[in-house]
Chain A
Amino acid sequence: MTGRMSPTIKIESIGGSLATQVAERSGASPMSCYQCAKCTGGCPVASGGDLKPHELVRLVQMDQHLAVLSSRFIWECTSCQTCTTRCPQKVDIAAMIDALRGMSRSAGAVAPSTAVPVFTDLFLDAVRKHGRVNELGLMVRFKLRTRRFFEDVDKAPMMLSKGKLPLLAREVAGKDERKAMFGRAAEGGAK
């Protein structure tokens, strides 16, 4: 670990509503964490993050909505499952972060530096429309949306020349059925 000090936590309130919400959404048990930091030891993105995983869990325990939901870290998690696998208290931190991403979006608190929500929406839109994801189409739409025209300009020609980017997407039948399925999922499967 670097010599960076842990962030000073200015207590907003102690009541555990954030921990309860996260537990309900994720099935994880944030209150079990005793701060051993084994998650942080194995986390591939902790060293560059604005939070480390054990700090994130502590902030959830301490009900620090803003610090958690506006953090860059929840968008830099690679979902590698190392924290979840190694936690001696079986806190499913990766699932917590999935839940926090949703809560961050609902609260309008998404860290401005991240393009992950844009990518996620385009990805799911492709699944809804086509049933499968055509990587070239997804990359083009992502670049248009984020205006990152000059990043990785060499990659598409490289992939085309290596036969890695078919220009035509394969479409799975049942588009209307899929759209209805996405709608029912958004309503929680109640209908």
Chain B
Amino acid sequence: MTYAFFPGCSLDGAARDFHRSTLAVTARLGLELPELKDWICCGSTAAHSTDPLLADALPAKSLSGAGGATVAVACAACYSRLKTANRHIAADAALRARVAQVVGRDYDGRTPVLHLLEILVRDIGLERIRAAIRSPLAGLKVACYYGCLLARPPEITGFDDPENPTLMDRLLETAGATPVEWPHKTECCGASFSITQPGIVLRLGNEILAMAQAAGADCISTACPLCQLNLDMRQKDIEAKSGRRYNLPVFYFTQLLGLAMGCPADELSLGSLVVEPAALLEARGIGR
């Protein structure tokens, strides 16, 4: 199976560990992810909160270069922007014409866009994933954290149940882990307010970490670069401000899946995690 991969800016920067672990896992599954040629930034919140036309034109420019291939996305924010632009353009001929004028070529809004979780669980399927598991994540209790933009709004993303998504839970259960029941799967981490208004991120991150801990999780699994950064890199700050102690490693789901598939730690960039996972993995006998 081949998809055109749209990594997004973060996967070349702060989420290079997400990038590497994605490629490690997909290679083991025989999945080819050639990069979408000359992709540009999705525009993120900066574009959609400034100029709705630009917010549709930036994804249209990238997606119109896919040549009909299904586009695979890892970052939840890129996924949301690409799918939103698709929805707007496909549903509104006048907007499609304006976007074509801005981009310089027509785009019909119909390039299929899928998140890696959808590809792994639905296209590849849990049976093939199960067959690729070499060292199950036995005894590892994981809080699967989806964040905002994979599941919301469901009319646009069509990802999963918007209040209780289960794609990541089912994937990691197949990898031998035990997903915990918890209510904060789709709560917001504060996203890019990490830079502009970090106080908001510290408060929201504290609520998410406290709930994961209360649910008995050993660690958190994420599917979005900003979710991962805000919970991992800011965890010490959150602990200092709240007076609580979490010490919860915050993985990308691809890193956990890669461990279960027997990928070596450096192929998964586990060294990039700020909250060290070594003691937890050692205690559970994972990754030896």
- Do the two shown chains form a genuine complex with each other? yes
> A: which residues have CB within 8 A of B?
25-26, 44-45, 48, 76, 78-82, 84-85, 97-98, 101-102, 114-116, 118-120, 123-124, 126-127, 131-136, 138-139, 142, 151-152, 155, 158-159, 162-166, 170, 172-174, 177-178, 180-182, 184-186, 188-191
List residues of chain B with CB within 8 A of the CB of A45. 200
Docked Cα-Cα span, A80 to B227, in Å, equals 12
Specify the chain A residue showing the minimal Cβ separation from B47.
A124
* Interface-central residue, B46, B98, B273, by most chain A CB under 10 Å: B46
The contact string, 1 if C-beta is below 8 Å from chain A, for chain B 187-201, is 110111101111010
Q: How far is the CB of A145 from chain B (nearest CB, A)?
A: 11
List residues of chain A with CB within 8 A of the CB of B40. 127, 131-132, 172, 178
Docked Cα-Cα span, A61 to B44, in Å, equals 29
* B48 contact from A79, A174, A182, A189, Cβ within 8 A: A79
Stretch of B49-57, B174-182, B241-249, B277-285 on the interface side: B49-57
List residues of chain B with CB within 8 A of the CB of A25. 52
Specify the chain B residue showing the minimal Cβ separation from A125.
B46
List residues of chain B with CB within 8 A of the CB of A124. 43, 46-47, 50, 54
Docked Cα-Cα span, A115 to B9, in Å, equals 22
Could you name 8 residue pairs across A and B whose Cβ atoms are closer than 8 Å?
A78-B190, A82-B186, A124-B50, A135-B9, A159-B233, A166-B12, A166-B16, A189-B98
B152 at the interface (CB under 8 A from A): yes
Contact indicator B99/A189 (Cβ below 8 Å): yes
Stretch of B22-30, B101-109, B134-142 on the interface side: B101-109
* B154 contact from A80, A85, A165, Cβ within 8 A: A85
Docked Cα-Cα span, A189 to B98, in Å, equals 5
Contact indicator B41/A120 (Cβ below 8 Å): no
Specify the chain A residue showing the minimal Cβ separation from B98.
A189
Docked Cα-Cα span, A74 to B45, in Å, equals 13
List residues of chain B with CB within 8 A of the CB of A191. 101
Docked Cα-Cα span, A48 to B47, in Å, equals 25
List residues of chain B with CB within 8 A of the CB of A85. 152-154, 162
B115 at the interface (CB under 8 A from A): no
Contact indicator A82/B14 (Cβ below 8 Å): no
Contact indicator B191/A165 (Cβ below 8 Å): no
Q: Lowest 10 A-B CB distances belong to which pairs? A: A189-B98, A123-B46, A80-B188, A81-B152, A185-B54, A80-B148, A44-B188, A131-B40, A133-B9, A135-B13
* A76 contact from B51, B103, B197, B272, Cβ within 8 A: B197
* A166 contact from B13, B49, B274, Cβ within 8 A: B13
Q: How many residues of B contact A (CB 8 A)?
A: 60
Specify the chain B residue showing the minimal Cβ separation from A120.
B46
Docked Cα-Cα span, A125 to B280, in Å, equals 42
Docked Cα-Cα span, A158 to B232, in Å, equals 11
Specify the chain A residue showing the minimal Cβ separation from B48.
A98
B38 at the interface (CB under 8 A from A): yes
Specify the chain A residue showing the minimal Cβ separation from B40.
A131
List residues of chain A with CB within 8 A of the CB of B15. 164
Q: How far is the CB of A185 from chain B (nearest CB, A)?
A: 4
Contact indicator A131/B41 (Cβ below 8 Å): yes
A119 and B46 in contact (CB under 8 A), knowing A136-B13, A155-B233? Answer: yes
Docked Cα-Cα span, A142 to B198, in Å, equals 14
A162 and B13 in contact (CB under 8 A), knowing A114-B196, A181-B103, A189-B53? Answer: no
B128 at the interface (CB under 8 A from A): no
Contact indicator B233/A79 (Cβ below 8 Å): no
Q: How far is the CB of A56 from chain B (nearest CB, A)?
A: 15
